[in-house]
Amino acid sequence: MDKRIKAFVELVRKECLSLNVEFRITKTKQVDNGDHCLCSGYFEDDSGGSRARLVVAGKHPNWFETLVHEFNHLRQWKEHDPIWLNEHIHFWAWVSGETPKLSHRNVVMSVRRLRNLELDCEKRSVRMIRKYKLPIDIEHYIKGANAYVKFYTLLGKTGAWCTKSTYRTKKIMRYMPTRFMPERWYRTLDKQFVADVFEHCYSASKRRKALAQLIAA
């Protein structure tokens, strides 16, 4: 393992210990984030009464990039950044199917806040990659970040989390910008992006759910 990766993992471990945050790198390709969504990793704060935790799927191809990203969510929480303090419980319950309906206003509001939250986290992550000279291709990382943040806009319309991440889809990554974009770019959905997500990022069951939601909207 690259010594820069080892050093960064140790930095995360020490900060988690100092903040009483549970830190785990699993031996799996995916983890359940607690909202019935499989992902490469997550950070959950202690607002629900349980101990805060940072969990990363160690067998995921992008585990290290995920660690950097989730560690910056921890930093948002640690710094009491107002962007982290927004609650999205009802939105994720809607995505997981626990809540059959959610008002259009609540969906739009949650998606806007989540996009802002994730974009801030991605920008923090790039600054951290540069600061610690981490072995991550910054241009490629930004392209993936752009694909990830834009997906939240589509998520608000379909209510279906992706089976395969947009940032792991070569066709989508080919046309993603190598710099962060203005806010309006992330809330705009072009036909090519939507078509590629449906074809490459949704399983058959997720595709059916997404289409049903679009038809019902």
- CA 68 from centroid of its chain's CA atoms: 12
**What is the predicted pLDDT for the residue at 200?**
97
**What is the predicted pLDDT for the residue at 104?**
87
The model's pLDDT over 152-185, given as tens digits with 9 standing for 90+, comes to: 999 999 999 999 999 999 999 999 999 999 999 9
The model's pLDDT over 44-88, given as tens digits with 9 standing for 90+, comes to: 998 777 899 999 999 999 999 999 999 999 999 999 999 997 767
The model's pLDDT over 93-115, given as tens digits with 9 standing for 90+, comes to: 888 888 778 888 999 999 999 99
Q: With 80 as the cut, is the pLDDT of residue 89 above it? A: no
The model's pLDDT over 175-214, given as tens digits with 9 standing for 90+, comes to: 999 999 999 999 999 999 999 999 999 999 999 999 988 8
**What is the predicted pLDDT for the residue at 70?**
97
Distances in Å between the alpha carbon of 178 and those of 47, 84, 174?
A: 35, 26, 10
Query: Cα angle vertex 5, ends 4, 9, to 5°?
Result: 120
**What is the predicted pLDDT for the residue at 175?**
97
Helix (H, G, I), strand (E, B) or coil at 25: strand
- The residue behind tokens 């940032």 is 167
Q: How many CB atoms lie within 10 A of CB 106?
A: 14
Contact 197, 189 (CB under 8 A): no
- The residue behind tokens 């785990």 is 24
Q: With 80 as the cut, is the pLDDT of residue 38 above it? A: no
Helix (H, G, I), strand (E, B) or coil at 86: coil
What does the alpha-carbon distance between residue 128 and residue 8 come to, in Å, rounded to a whole number?
Answer: 10
What does the alpha-carbon distance between residue 49 and residue 37 come to, in Å, rounded to a whole number?
Answer: 21
- What φ, ψ does residue 101 adopt, rounded to 5°? -130, 150
Helical H segments across the chain, by residue range: 3-18, 63-78, 89-96, 104-131, 138-158, 170-174, 183-186, 191-196, 204-216
> Which residue has better confidence, 70 or 39?
70
**What is the predicted pLDDT for the residue at 64?**
97
Distances in Å between the alpha carbon of 212 and those of 33, 61, 105, 159, 200?
A: 25, 31, 19, 10, 18
**What is the predicted pLDDT for the residue at 213?**
87
- What predicted TM-score, i.e. pTM, was given to this entire model? 0.92
**What is the predicted pLDDT for the residue at 152?**
96
